[in-house]
A = this chain, B = another copy of it.
């Protein structure tokens, strides 16, 4: 009656949260399988108190799998997700690899669940920084329309994986316990594991997440632009982002400025956000109530506050948006997509393979 669910990248920062979200999920799961690199194969991780032996991710590993959650990096998804689809699974991919593929829905279940209906075996989970912005802005877009978005992010290091968390803690200890200047601590991962130079994040702010593109924006910034247009199904929404890493372990914060098509009364904006599923209004400045990263950790919700009119533009609104990047930004949104697929009767083998087998 239930599904066989595979978690690809089970040992990672997101993978371990995916397991937790699956344990708490309403999804009927008969069988769980953990896949990872050859290095982790043979080790065990638990599922609902029971040991599960980790298998190596291979082309042939997906026989019998109904739902495969991928979070092991873009190259792993590129290589193995098509084999999972060919074996009859539906893939929910948390990497950026398939997000702009025309045959792949990019889904935030509260925002565009209808996008799932036409899936071809792979559904992409958007970037963490995009997801929480979508949850905050979709209720505004629905009522007043969106003309433009300018966003500056305050992103946690866990978005760069387990290694980045450990590196941040080690750097902080070097400064606080050993008296090192933050300039002199060892840095091997941030701002981007895929780039040449690495800089300390301890007591620093790094205006680079992912590598740079040709237009001087980073890939992370361009993800926010492109993914917003695809999820909201409107290429006319202007989106420019500045993505910044700060010394926070988990939960991303965002300073979001929007211009609406029609003038939106602030009280009504607050009410619309408060009523939207997955969004929580935390906005009472008289009592110093506004979203905080440390309070968002562990929650599936997106917290929105500091909502106020621009001082000059009648259709301009500023807000502060915070969510746990490992949960709504990744693991929970992926499992929530799987739950939505189940509710809509969309967990089924795909007839025609639209993705290249490499």
Chain A interface residues (CB < 8 Å from chain B): 148, 150, 152, 154, 169, 172-173, 176-177, 181-183, 191, 195-197, 199-200, 203-208, 212, 215-217, 225, 238-240, 242, 244, 246-249, 253, 255, 257, 285-288, 290-295, 305-308, 310-313, 316, 318, 320
Contact = CB atoms under 8 A, between A and B. Distances in A.
Contacts of A320: 207, 242
A310 to B, nearest CB: 5
Contacts of A295: 183
A235 B238 CA distance: 28
A257 B150 CA distance: 8
A155 to B, nearest CB: 10
A17 to B, nearest CB: 17
Given A177-B177, A216-B285, A294-B182, A205 B154 contact: yes
A317 B156 CA distance: 26
Contacts of A216: 285, 306-308
Given A242-B318, A312-B240, A294 B200 contact: yes
Contact of A294 (B152, B204, B212, B288): B204
Contacts of A249: 182, 203
A307 B207 CA distance: 11
A205 B248 contact: yes
10 contacts: A148-B313, A154-B244, A173-B177, A181-B294, A204-B292, A205-B292, A208-B285, A216-B285, A240-B318, A242-B320
Contacts of A310: 150, 238, 240
A255 B216 CA distance: 15
A305 B218 CA distance: 13
Nearest to A319: B242
A205 B248 CA distance: 8
B207 A238 contact: no
Contacts of A199: 288, 292
A341 to B, nearest CB: 33
Q: Which 3 A-B pairs have the closest CB atoms?
A: A238-B312, A152-B255, A152-B152
A313 B257 CA distance: 15
A311 B257 contact: no
Contacts of A191: 288
Given A204-B293, A208-B288, A216-B285, A176 B172 contact: yes
